[in-house]
Amino acid sequence: MIVESLTDSFSFARELRLLSKSDFSQVFDQPTRVGNRAFTVLFRSNLQNHPRLGLAIAKKQVRLAVDRNRIKRLIRECFRQQQHQLPNIDLVFMVRRDINQLDNAKIQSAIQHIWKQVAKKCAR
């Protein structure tokens, strides 16, 4: 049986997630911030050899659980596809209230815009 490493697969393994309070705290302490109409993203370099994703989708911003879950699915899927182009950073996605007015295609394009902003800031 051959086991693929994280760098070879496009899965969204547990190692690619921010799970603990301390993981999130490290990002919230001294973040670099990017954003657009739909999202605010905080990120910070990590000591891992891969990027990690955290989601902070507030009930205050997106009332219905079905909408929060849809947004999380879209973010995870875009991250899964983009993970090999991202530097070694921890990202925390937060939503803005305007996201309720956007359909899936517009949310995906907003996420793509975030990836470009992150790449630009990391290149500095």
> Which residue ranges make up each domain of the chain?
36-123
For the entire predicted model, the pTM comes to 0.89
pLDDT tens digit string along 23-61?
A: 999 999 999 999 999 999 999 999 999 999 999 999 999
Q: Residue 7 pLDDT > 90, yes or no?
A: no
What class does CATH assign to 36-123? alpha beta
How buried is residue 93: exposed, middle or buried, by Cβ count under 10 Å (0-12/13-18/19+)? buried
User: Is 38 in contact with 99 (CB distance < 8 Å)?
Assistant: yes
pLDDT tens digit string along 71-84?
A: 999 999 999 999 99
Lowest-pLDDT range, 12-16, 19-23, 74-78, 93-97? 12-16
Give Cβ neighbours of residue 122 (< 8 Å, ≥ 6 apart): 45, 87, 89
Q: Where are the alpha helices (DSSP H) in the chain?
A: 21-29, 65-82, 104-123
How many CB atoms are closer than 10 A to CB 9?
13
